[in-house]
Structure 1
Amino acid sequence: METLINVNGFQTQVAVKLTNIGETQSTNVVDSMDTDALERFGIREEKKLPFLGKDRRDAKRRLPSDPHYDPKTLYLPLQFLKSLTSGQRQWWEFKSKHMDKVMFFKMGKFYELFEMDAHVGVKELDLET
């Protein structure tokens, strides 16, 4: 099953494989999320990661107003990349090329969801934090 959702300006496609569970009804994360919580998430993300907000650019540094803008990619400022651990840098470098997808990142023997993907996972996959 695939679902297209929109969180804080990101359109993300979520693919979920269900085995022996039956059908499930997908909900839009914006509709199912408390408006205050969504607003707080957006404010927090913009303060923490300003390149995701109004300063957002694609991997080739094009603004959303550019006709060749690619919303599936994200420009990561060098200063931000230098501030990350090697694992965080690996995640962000891969995620910046796949902003339209939810990424499960393997850490040891577990798969983790980070940043905006974690918020999507909590709502769309009915996970608990």
Structure 2
Amino acid sequence: MFKTLFAQVKQYKTAAILTPVFTSSEVVMEVLIPYVTALLIDKGINAGVIQNVYLYGGIMLGMACLSLLFGILAGHYSAYASTGFASNLRDAMYRNIKRFAFSDIDKFSTSGLVTRMTTD
């Protein structure tokens, strides 16, 4: 079963690999933002050094923008890989159903096969 599924996703291997990479990168950025906030407060506001406030504020802004970019890319690649995988799976099902004997068709109702084949 897994062999069949992996064969359908082979065409979208790059997107399937990039999705968790971008998602993990987004999570890392989101986790580090509170740490940078603590640095901003400790080394900027409490120390009274306005340059550090600007520095850590800029770093936080950059991290937030990177997190947004990683999230967008993760969503894009996951949608691309999943729709392509679903399309390939439907095509493989169609090719398999075309080879059904009449006895196989009797086991499954026509409406059941149509439901499995549509892109709802």
Q: TM-score, normalised by structure 2?
A: 0.25
Q: TM-score, normalised by structure 1?
A: 0.24
Greater strand fraction, Structure 1 or Structure 2? 1
